[in-house]
């Protein structure tokens, strides 16, 4: 939702927060944690094929 993956457009923190009934700050925290995990070297190697295609 946040970055428009699988959607017609990306959504703001506020919009995502309203959809999941959480604050935009909580959405930001979850987003930051997820991006940190995706940047981990082991995970980034596994995801590299998706970025290249």
C-alpha neighbours within 13 Å on the C-beta side of residue 22: 12
The predicted model scores a pTM of 0.71
Residue 2 lies in a domain: no
Query: What is the distance, to the nearest Å, from the Cα of residue 12 to the centroid of all Cα atoms in its chain?
Result: 12
* Residue 45 confidence (pLDDT): 79
Range of the domain at 38: 13-52
For the chain, the domain total comes to: 1
The answer to whether residue 4 sits within a structural domain is no
What's the pLDDT score for residue 53?
57
* Residue pLDDT, tens place only, 3-35: 777 788 889 999 999 999 999 999 999 999 998
How far, in Å, CA of 47 to CA of 41, rounded?
A: 10
Angle (CA) 12 16 18, round 5°: 115
Residue 25's pLDDT is 97
Tokens of 12: 């703001």
């Amino acid at each position: 939702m946040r970055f428009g993956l699988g959607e017609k457009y990306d959504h703001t923190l506020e919009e995502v927060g309203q959809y999941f009934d959480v604050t935009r700050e909580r959405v930001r925290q979850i987003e930051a944690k997820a991006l940190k995990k995706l940047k981990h070297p082991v995970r980034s190697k596994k995801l590299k094929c998706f970025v290249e295609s």
